Amino acid sequence: MPETTEPSEIDLALLGALEINPRADWTAIGAALDLSATTVARRWAVLRAAGDAWVTPSPGHLFVAEAGCAFAYLAIDPAHLETAIAVLAACPTFATISRVTGEYDLMLDCFGASLPSLLEDIGAALAAVPGILRKEILVATRLHRHGTQWRSGTIAPAQARTLQQERTASAGRRQVEVQLVEALTRDGRLTWEQLGAVLERSAQTARRHTTSLLSRGILTLRCDRARRYDSSRREASFIMSVPAPRLEEAARFFAEQPSCRLSVEVFGSANLAATLWVQDLVELQRIEVALMSRIPEVAVRQRTLSMRTDKRLGHVLDHEGRSVAVVPMVFPS
């Protein structure tokens, strides 16, 4: 197992740069951070080899509208918990698996090619999981903020502006894009030549298809990292019922919080879910007070803290949050 050391300032700055533009070339990143391209490329190679950081596909702002997305909450018999997590982690439908406090033991992000196929896949997959005592499924209906938009603040705004990505639209073919998603999940920074080899096409063709894939808003790329790089932060989630006329306002309230990782309207026993990464649990109380002051009718159904994440966007994690295996997520049809 890699030795755990304190993150260096260079590594934190590099990871902050890759939050802004996960596929920026090393020359651009080096220039933004006032480092050589060789230095940042070498540091990234070390981080990735250790499983400390990786670039992977993530749902974009149109994923909920164009594909299938839901959140599953499971209560598991303690005697079966570890086995259940292993079974769930091996299934592409469950992209992220977190152990949480509260009424349920596990919270899962579920992705599918379409909503009907996702619900069918969830049912079939859960039938094979031992020890489930009860479950709840919330279907995502409208996304207001996703994890790719979150920033750790490790680089200055001026540095971030130099790394903003350009977006261009072009046509793409689904089968090629399925291959791309799998390849990018394993290594989101493969060169155009390496992606071309995976697709058995030229580097220029690989670049064109990747640009098309990422420009449509269904998928994007993001840089994730092991838990020690965010050891001072705590992940918390609210599940809420909001009167329909105030739902969008409440969702936007969370989306505007700098600590927000997810704000999404859902359909089920609740209609709004929000996840935040906070430095201090007191911040959660402050946010909830501010929400209630603005929209007193909100009823918070669940408050959970994440104790450990066993899988994040297709990457299976060890107890330190390092990526140790990959199960690519399901590609939208």
pLDDT (tens digit per residue) in 254-304: 999 999 999 999 999 999 999 999 989 999 999 999 999 999 999 999 999
Partnered with residue 57 across adjacent β-strands are 221
Residue 229 in 3-state DSSP?
helix
Say yes or no to pLDDT of 170 above 50: no
For the whole model, what pTM was predicted?
0.87
Radius of gyration, CA atoms only, the chain: 20
Strand segments (E) across 117-191: 132-145
Domains of the chain are 170-215 (1.10.10)
pLDDT (tens digit per residue) in 198-254: 999 999 999 998 888 888 888 889 999 998 888 778 999 999 999 999 999 999 999
Instruction: Report the half-sphere exposure of 320 (CA within 13 A, side-chain side).
Output: 15
DSSP 8-state assignment for residue 61: T
Which two three-digit tokens encode residue 319?
């107890």
